[in-house]
Amino acid sequence: MRALRRFTVRAQLPEPLAPLQTLATNLRWSWHPATRELFAALDPAAWERSGEDPVRLLGEIPSSTLRELAEDAELVAQVRDRAADLERYLTEDRWYQVQQDLPAAIAYFSMEFGVSEVLPNYSGGLGVLAGDHLKAASDLGVPLVAVGLLYQSGYFRQSLSLDGWQLEHYPVLDPQGLPLQLLTDGAGAPVLVEVAMPEGRTLAARVWQAGVGRVPLLLLDTDIEDNDADLRAVTDRLYGGDQDHRIKQEILIGVGGVRAVRAYCRATGHPVPEVFHTNEGHAGFLGLERIRELQSEDLDFDQALAAVRAGTVFTTHTPVPAGIDRFPLDLVRRYLTDALLPGVPTDRLLAMGAEDDPSMFNMAHMGLRLAQRANGVSKLHGEVSRGMFGGLWAGFDADEVPIGSVTNGVHGHTWENPDVASLVGEPGRPVTAGDAELWGLRNALRARLVDEVRRRVRAAWLERGASTPELSWTDHVFDPDVLTVGFARRVPTYKRLTLMLRDPDRLRDLLLDPHRPVQLIVAGKSHPADDGGKALIQQIVRFADDPAVRHRIVFLPDYDMSMARYLYWGCDVWLNNPLRPLEACGTSGMKSALNGGLNLSIRDGWWDELYDGANGWAIPTADGIDDPHKRDDLEANALYELLATRVAPAFYERDEGVPAKWTGLVRHTLETLRPEVQATRMVREYVEGWYAPAARAARVVTESAFAGARAVAAYRARLNAAWTKVQVAGVDASGLPDTPVVGAPMTVRAVVDLNGLTPEDVTVEAIVGRVDDSDELKDTVRVPMKHLGDERFEAVVPLPHAGLAGYTVRVLPTHPLLASQAELGKVVLA
């Protein structure tokens, strides 16, 4: 008989073991080895069967066993000890608590969260990054409230057909079997969040809370009886469905998410967030809901916009134009109704997402318009984003576009094997372990990976339809002493999964080299709708199926956090070969570096800024070669060369069994990269450089009944009315020195028609710099000009460079409540 529906009944624990419930439901166990060990010790076999999932584990252990365990005084003491440790972790003062003048709370919105494999609510890097952000925030004591959706079947699980084609499965998750708690109001009733849908319908969601250490993660779930059948399915899958499905999800997380935060703060007394951080554009509608809230407090749209912008941070994650989230404008108009956001003028809402194509609504553009502060996720990505979104700040040079960068980081305690810290101590200290010890650690981690590879290869073949007697060869795939290279990631085109197959014979030679062989692990999921990506996977699988090489190359299906951990621990080399500069940051290589893995990567994303010549290898990139085939040829060739002539020799050259050159690279990687790639470094940067300034700005615009917001809105209105006729009527450089040498003062005078604006409303700037043949100014010095009266302005600028120079004058808006002079995208050039 098949069951009609599955559900989970939670275990009733004997009183002495009751704290296990708390330990199981707060996800801190996932990065706290001592707590994991405690769960494993309860029943090692059940721990394994449960997939190392404490909630499932407690359900699997028979009540009789639990009663016996409750009699074990030593165990009970351990349980109490771990519970006390968790309680301390949740309440003691941490880094944030000893800083000054920081926001009372920050709301962090993301479409996906990869906290642990027991809560599979992520598809890849973006989600895992969000999970690491929460964990690092928790470790630092940052009062974050996170908001996302709870998907009934998360992202898909991947398996392979016999001929190597990706198959997708969507196991349904039961929230009762997950480490979640329903958010209830004071009277104990479940909190329901509602958002209006077209045609007078309502979409309701309940709110589940996960505890990520100190950080509450609120997940909205529409699978409830109050909803029409089609609306119950709004949170069915992550990144499934069409545009209509997707906009419903995004309205739910944005608008519904703010309502969930409000309900959470009311129900628990949690401080109200002063800053809202939008992790990628998907949740951008949150800004519109906050505008609605403020409009109901007697502000008009522009005043509300000024207040919302001050307290909003937007992080963009993709330099791939096709990766930007966009909707047909008509679809957006259908959903952004007065019922959804009462009192907010529709034309103003729609204008927030305007882009070049007038029929489209662009979520990234909305993100940038609704946030006073924005950033990319590595230095290079910041630069690329300033170019990519520069159109919103027309007239400004790319380096003035107000998009900064915070380089991503990864959560050390999640991704680092505990043996690494035991051997080399905390990040940031010199590594005193000797070559032999480092080598011993690497060997142990590699051996563990090889076991895991064999287990998974065998399971994958059974799933593809092979029978046990055919599979004895899987006991011998991989060799614990062979140089092991990992390549695992999602499979969008730019990541070039199959670059290594560019010349299959050369790859085969590397794998089968009699003296210096390489073994290669490949893994990754293709988006279910992307047949091109699935064809790439099939190409790899077919290559790896060849009996001549299958002991040296494997494709492991179902890449997720539980597999990833073994790869990051055990791979000697982490390979990454994206098309530069399309990898915004990349974080898998950071996780490898935490464990002493060496990166072999195109200088893209984080590797562009942290590669130092002695912590791995940079694959030369053929940027600027337009023919993609030629570019692939060049870069693949460079990759083979590096592997054969640099990487493998360093690994195999031994002195008394130890490759001193290799362990030197490992030591340097652990010393220099391990502290840099930490998510705590990233979160600290967000707190100091983004959240704190945003909270200060938000306070200033909110104080005294929103006097600041009203002032900004009035200023912008005045500016808009006057701006088109502001002009630099004349520039006079009669003040050029007789002999223009470097440093000689040059006087620039200008006559500016401000068209009714006051000199205090603007900055008039003299700009001097180098010029090239096209008269473009470069390496400029910008000096504000003094107002001399009437329409006359003047500045004295020391000549900055020798050689061909040029100058100009421009007018910019200035207001004390703007974060940058480029913020409003307005500039008048002479």
Please give the residue ranges that form the binding site for ligand PLP (CB under 6 A).
124-125, 128, 489, 559-561, 564, 586-588, 591
Q: Write down the least CB distance from residue 456 to ligand PLP, Å.
A: 14
Q: How far is CA 296 from the centre of its chain?
A: 33
- Output 125 or 759, the one with its CB closest to ligand PLP: 125
Q: Write down the least CB distance from residue 123 to ligand PLP, Å.
A: 8
Q: Quick one: CA torsion of 636, 640, 642, 647, rounded to 10 degrees?
A: 130
- Output 117 or 503, the one with its CB closest to ligand PLP: 117
- Output 370 or 590, the one with its CB closest to ligand PLP: 590
User: Within 10 A of 408 (CB to CB), how many other CB atoms are there?
Assistant: 27
The amino acid at residue 121 is N
d(CA 691, CA 368): 16
Q: Write down the least CB distance from residue 204 to ligand PLP, Å.
A: 32
- Output 585 or 647, the one with its CB closest to ligand PLP: 585
Which token pair is 446?
């590699």
Q: Write down the least CB distance from residue 127 to ligand PLP, Å.
A: 8
- Output 365 or 565, the one with its CB closest to ligand PLP: 565
- Output 312 or 588, the one with its CB closest to ligand PLP: 588
d(CA 291, CA 370): 10
Q: Write down the least CB distance from residue 416 to ligand PLP, Å.
A: 13
Q: Write down the least CB distance from residue 671 to ligand PLP, Å.
A: 22
- Output 263 or 540, the one with its CB closest to ligand PLP: 540
- Examine residue 659 and say whether the peptide bond preceding it is cis (omega within 30 degrees of 0): no
Phi-psi region of 214 (alpha: psi -120 to 50; beta: other; left: phi over 0): alpha
Q: Write down the least CB distance from residue 614 to ligand PLP, Å.
A: 22
- Output 318 or 538, the one with its CB closest to ligand PLP: 318
Which token pair is 475?
């006991």
For the chain, the residue count is 830
Q: Write down the least CB distance from residue 639 to ligand PLP, Å.
A: 17
Q: Write down the least CB distance from residue 97 to ligand PLP, Å.
A: 29
Q: Write down the least CB distance from residue 583 to ligand PLP, Å.
A: 7
- Output 564 or 818, the one with its CB closest to ligand PLP: 564
Give the chain's count of helices (H) and strands (E).
29, 28
User: Within 10 A of 159 (CB to CB), how many other CB atoms are there?
Assistant: 16
Which token pair is 760?
């205090």
Q: How far is CA 485 from the centre of its chain?
A: 24
Which token pair is 344?
């907010």
- Output 122 or 543, the one with its CB closest to ligand PLP: 122
Q: Write down the least CB distance from residue 568 to ligand PLP, Å.
A: 8
Q: Write down the least CB distance from residue 559 to ligand PLP, Å.
A: 6
- For 547-607, give the DSSP string: TTTTTTEEEESS--HHHHHHHHHH-SEEEE---TT--S---HHHHHHHTTPEEEEES-HHH
CA-derived radius of gyration, the chain: 29
Strands (E), 331-482: 360-362, 373-376, 404-405
- Output 222 or 408, the one with its CB closest to ligand PLP: 408
Q: Write down the least CB distance from residue 155 to ligand PLP, Å.
A: 10
Q: Write down the least CB distance from residue 170 to ligand PLP, Å.
A: 18
Partners of 753 in the beta sheet?
727
Closest to 41 in 3D by CA, of 20, 22, 63: 20
Question: What residues have CB less than 8 Å from 576, skipping those under 6 apart?
Answer: 487, 489, 495, 583, 586, 588, 589, 599, 600, 601, 602, 604, 607
| CB distance 803 to 765 below 8 Å | no
User: Within 10 A of 700 (CB to CB), how many other CB atoms are there?
Assistant: 17
- Output 560 or 572, the one with its CB closest to ligand PLP: 560
- Output 124 or 616, the one with its CB closest to ligand PLP: 124
Q: Quick one: CA torsion of 491, 477, 452, 599, rounded to 10 degrees?
A: -50
- Output 22 or 562, the one with its CB closest to ligand PLP: 562
| CB distance 151 to 236 below 8 Å | yes
Partners of 376 in the beta sheet?
405
- Output 585 or 726, the one with its CB closest to ligand PLP: 585
Question: What residues have CB less than 8 Å from 540, skipping those under 6 apart?
Answer: 164, 497, 498, 501, 522, 555
Q: Write down the least CB distance from residue 554 to ligand PLP, Å.
A: 17
Which token pair is 564?
């990833």
- Output 160 or 438, the one with its CB closest to ligand PLP: 160
Q: Write down the least CB distance from residue 814 to ligand PLP, Å.
A: 40
Strands (E), 50-171: 106-109, 144-149, 157-160, 166-169
- Output 222 or 378, the one with its CB closest to ligand PLP: 378
Q: Write down the least CB distance from residue 418 to ligand PLP, Å.
A: 18
Tell me what percent of the chain is helix, strand and coil, each rounded to the nearest 5. 45, 20, 35
Backbone angles phi, psi at 33, to 5 degrees: -55, -40
d(CA 695, CA 487): 41
The strand pair at 157-160 and 181-182 is best described as unpaired
Partners of 546 in the beta sheet?
none
| CB distance 461 to 499 below 8 Å | no
- 32-43 b/e with 16+ CB inside 10 Å = b? beebbebbeebb
d(CA 721, CA 569): 60
Which token pair is 373?
């502060």
Q: Write down the least CB distance from residue 534 to ligand PLP, Å.
A: 18
Local structure of residue 645 (DSSP, 8 states): I
Which 3 state secondary structure label does DSSP give 38? helix
